[in-house]
Amino acid sequence: MDILTLFVTIPVLTMLAIGFAKNTQQVRLISAVGMSIQLLNAVRLLFAFFAERKAGNTAEFLFTQDLVWFKSLNIHYAIGVDGIAVAMLVLTAIIIFTGVFASWTMKELTKEFFISLILLATGVFGFFISLDLFTMFVFYEVAVIPMYLLIGIWGSGRKEYSAMKLTIMLMGGSALLMVGLFGIYFNSNVAGGELTWNLQEIAKIQIPIEAQRMFFPMLFVGFGVLGALFPFHTWSPDGHASAPTAVSMLHAGVLMKLGGYGAFRVAMYLMPEAAQEQAWIFIVLTSISVLYGALGAIMQTDLKYINAYSSVSHCGLILFGLLMMNQTAMNGAILQMISHGIMTALFFALIGMIYGRTHTRMIDKMGGLMKVIPFLSVAYVIGGLASLGLPGFSGFVAEMTIFVGAFQHADIFHRVATIIAVSSIVVTAVYILRVVGVLLLGPIKNDEFLQLKDAEWHEQLTLVTLIIGIAGIGIAPLWLSDLIGEGLAPVVAKLLAAIH
């Protein structure tokens, strides 16, 4: 079986195997083994990809496969990856791997929980390997739907409300996507011949500008809802607050990235003229998002809300970078997807671990945790520093790439938007240091917390894996930036060609 299809097969087999498990112990073990294999497969893909490139294979997408599965609508199971997709697959594999370990102590309905969790991941993996827009959309839905169950059943707080809200908003986004994708499909044969869903085929033609003007905003907003585009981000604070740890990790870590990925891979790549025309609207929205999310995070007291707003800010930066539409800024945007993915997974994992001990997420009820749970606290500080863009961690690399790219536009509009976005680095420092100061430092507020135990092995494994991820990218970013840059080149070329 080819290496890409394995990305879907391994999780499916894991889910089947979980179905036969006899107890929680086995469920955990099977999930862990399955996802470890998945992670190894992702690493193998990375090396295989580099080897192919080194061997001189310059095709835009590698490891392609094409099987027809719905003849009358010409829907194919078409797969293939470029550098960006490879990076996203590795990211997803890391997050689901750590997500399994972060759910180690899950007690109720473990079998169903792990199956749903892995099903969600399967959708994400499938999405990133797809080259057929319809197949891509199917995988997208596979990723979104288990979310409802995962929050509604295993969540906390107002879980039904949050699950419903999240699902309905994302479904609203899906509806826009569906219409937009059909719009592309019915315009995919300008030169005559068969209609197609194939991304590569459609990229070769120019969709009529009237159609672009109509369908670009649908697709961009549709994906943008998932990428927490202001003002469609409000599912995120409630959703995250109610979701169980691993679900938050996966959701903020990779699912939200589907939004950004789709936005450039489908919306911008296939409809570059409309993207150039309408970018300004979304630049306004995203630069607002970046600062607004950060300012919104300052006064929050619930750890998950803080991280949710911080995600609004960081994900805003992803879309912002994409909309700058040059090689550098878009490269930064994708680095930011990966960086934010790992970082936010780290935060949600830590929040889950802290909540599991103190049974509260309110920072003003805690304090001085550094003294009692130093491992978790140091991990939190590292995550915080990464999040505020300290050099040596991935966030810095991503943000600086976006900013340098954005500064290549010399007109006043872009300059102002960029400076608004750049100024978020100060606000981010404010809310991060506030949390660190209140939560971890200072005297211990509650004597009960003196009994807390520090991280166990599976928690340490989760945290260390994620920290290695952000520090690794932060210390040696060149290979990743080159990997992404090469994948971006055709997209950027199309976008630049679309400038009148």
Partner 1 sequence: MDFSYSVLIPLIPLFAFLIIGLGGNKLKALASGLLGTTGLGVSFILSLYTAYQYFFVFGKSAEGVYQKIVAFDMVWLRFTETLHINMGVLLDPISVMMLVVVTTVSFMVHIYSMGYMKGEVGFERFFAFLSLFSFSMLGLVLATNIFQMYMFWELVGVSSFLLIGFYYQKPSAVAASKKAFIVTRFADLGFLIGILLYSYSTGTFDFGLLTNVDGELIRKGTEAGFLGLSMLTWSLILVFMGGAGKSAMFPLHIWLPDAMEGPTPVSALIHAATMVVAGVYLVARLFPVYALSSPDALEVVAYIGAFSSLFAAIIACTQFDIKRVLAFSTMSQIGYMMLALGVSGYGEHGIGYMASMFHLFTHAMFKALLFLAAGAIIHAVHTNDLREMGGLRKYMPITHITFFVALMAIAGIPPFSGFFSKDEILVAAFEHNKIIFFSSMLVAGLTAFYMSRLYFSIFWGKNTHYHHTPHETSPVMYIPLIFLALVTVFAGFIPFGELVTSDGKALHLHIHWNIAIPAVLVALTGIGVATALYMKESKTPDKVVASLGGVYKTILNKFYFDEIYMFVTKKIIFNLISKPIAWFDRHIVDGTMDGIGWVTTTSSEKMKNFQSGQLQQYAIVFISGVIALVLIFSYFSTN
Question: Site residues (CB under 8 A) for partner 1?
Answer: 165, 168-169, 230-232, 234-235, 237-238, 292, 295-296, 298-300, 309, 327-328, 368, 370-371, 385, 388-392, 396-397, 400-401, 403-405, 407-408, 410, 419, 422-423, 425-426, 429-430, 433-434, 437, 440-444, 477-478, 481-482
Q: Please tell me whether the peptide bond between 490 and the residue prior to it is cis, using omega within 30 degrees of 0.
A: no
Select 133 or 294, whichever has its Cβ closest to partner 1: 294
Select 37 or 390, whichever has its Cβ closest to partner 1: 390
Select 137 or 235, whichever has its Cβ closest to partner 1: 235
- Distance, in Å, from the CA atom of 180 to the CA atom of 267, rounded to the nearest integer, reads 9
Select 316 or 352, whichever has its Cβ closest to partner 1: 316
Q: In which element (H, E) is residue 373 found?
A: none
State in angstroms the smallest separation of the CB of 63 from partner 1.
26
State in angstroms the smallest separation of the CB of 391 from partner 1.
4
Select 321 or 352, whichever has its Cβ closest to partner 1: 321
Question: Any idea what DSSP says for residue 72?
Answer: T
State in angstroms the smallest separation of the CB of 500 from partner 1.
23
- How many residues does the structure list for the chain? 500
- Distance, in Å, from the CA atom of 311 to the CA atom of 93, rounded to the nearest integer, reads 20
State in angstroms the smallest separation of the CB of 112 from partner 1.
28
Question: Any idea what DSSP says for residue 443?
Answer: S
Closest CA to 401 of 309, 492, 324: 324
State in angstroms the smallest separation of the CB of 216 from partner 1.
23
- Distance, in Å, from the CA atom of 216 to the CA atom of 233, rounded to the nearest integer, reads 19
State in angstroms the smallest separation of the CB of 456 from partner 1.
17
- Distance, in Å, from the CA atom of 359 to the CA atom of 238, rounded to the nearest integer, reads 18
- Distance, in Å, from the CA atom of 239 to the CA atom of 234, rounded to the nearest integer, reads 9
Give 282-332 as a DSSP string: HHHHHHHHHHHHHHHHHT--BHHHHHHHHHHHHHHHHHHHHHT-SHHHHHH
Report the alpha-carbon angle 55-60-66, nearest 5: 100
- Distance, in Å, from the CA atom of 302 to the CA atom of 411, rounded to the nearest integer, reads 40
Closest CA to 157 of 304, 300, 293: 304
State in angstroms the smallest separation of the CB of 424 from partner 1.
9
Select 138 or 335, whichever has its Cβ closest to partner 1: 335
Select 33 or 416, whichever has its Cβ closest to partner 1: 416
Select 134 or 235, whichever has its Cβ closest to partner 1: 235
State in angstroms the smallest separation of the CB of 422 from partner 1.
6
User: Using alpha carbons only, how large is the chain's radius of gyration in Å?
Assistant: 22
Does residue 229 sit in helix, strand or coil?
A: coil
Token pair listed for 183: 């719009």
- Distance, in Å, from the CA atom of 237 to the CA atom of 304, rounded to the nearest integer, reads 7
State in angstroms the smallest separation of the CB of 471 from partner 1.
11
State in angstroms the smallest separation of the CB of 435 from partner 1.
11
State in angstroms the smallest separation of the CB of 429 from partner 1.
5
Select 126 or 173, whichever has its Cβ closest to partner 1: 173
- Distance, in Å, from the CA atom of 1 to the CA atom of 401, rounded to the nearest integer, reads 38
- Distance, in Å, from the CA atom of 431 to the CA atom of 82, rounded to the nearest integer, reads 37
State in angstroms the smallest separation of the CB of 7 from partner 1.
29
What are φ and ψ of residue 241, in 5° steps?
A: -60, -35
Does residue 64 sit in helix, strand or coil?
A: strand
Report the alpha-carbon angle 338-236-313, nearest 5: 55
State the chain's maximal CA–CA distance in angstroms: 75
State in angstroms the smallest separation of the CB of 412 from partner 1.
10
CB 260 within 8 A of CB 227: yes
Q: In which element (H, E) is residue 68 found?
A: strand 62-70
Distance linking the first and last C-alpha atoms of the chain? 46
Closest CA to 356 of 482, 430, 456: 456
Closest CA to 300 of 361, 358, 369, 232: 361
